Amino acid sequence: MLCRFMLAVVLGVTASVATAQDADIGRALYQRHCATCHGLEGRGEGPMAGAMVIKPVNLTELLIRNGGVFPMERVVMRIDGRDPLVSHGSPMPVYGDYFERAFDVPIKTPSGQPLLASRAVIDLVAYLYELQRIEE
């Protein structure tokens, strides 16, 4: 319970949205849609990584690579396709139509700006936050 509260504080979400985040659902979504490229541990070493033109990013280092700030807006928009990344001839994610749903869940970015995303993306981002390494 403390972990979810801390996640809500760090992500800057409202209390009603914080209870809607489910990192366990996010983990299942990650394993189904992301691990093929990013690997089960999120380090960019999935079985398809070697076949890709752009190597999948190490998702455990998002905080480290961004000065201790989780890049919420960029992560959400990469997942849902609003900030497309073309890798191996197709947009990332290859399961984009699954994540391109109604943008009906508000969250706050670290700057305090609101951002709308689907519940699936919010749950996936909650799991990605749990993957973060704190130290380099």
Alpha-helix residue ranges (DSSP H) falling in 55-118: 62-65, 72-80, 96-99
The mean pLDDT value for 59-77 works out to: 94
Give pLDDT tens digits for 73-121: 999 988 888 887 766 566 666 666 677 767 888 988 888 889 999 999 9
Query: Residue 60: which H helix or E strand, with range?
Result: none
The structure tokens listed for 79 are 């997942």
% pLDDT > 70, the chain: 74
Dihedral sign for Cα atoms in the order 103, 8, 34, 90: positive
Q: Where do the domains of the chain lie?
A: 2-130
Backbone angles phi, psi at 20, to 5 degrees: -80, -20
% pLDDT > 90, the chain: 50
pTM of this structure: 0.78
Backbone angles phi, psi at 9, to 5 degrees: -65, -50
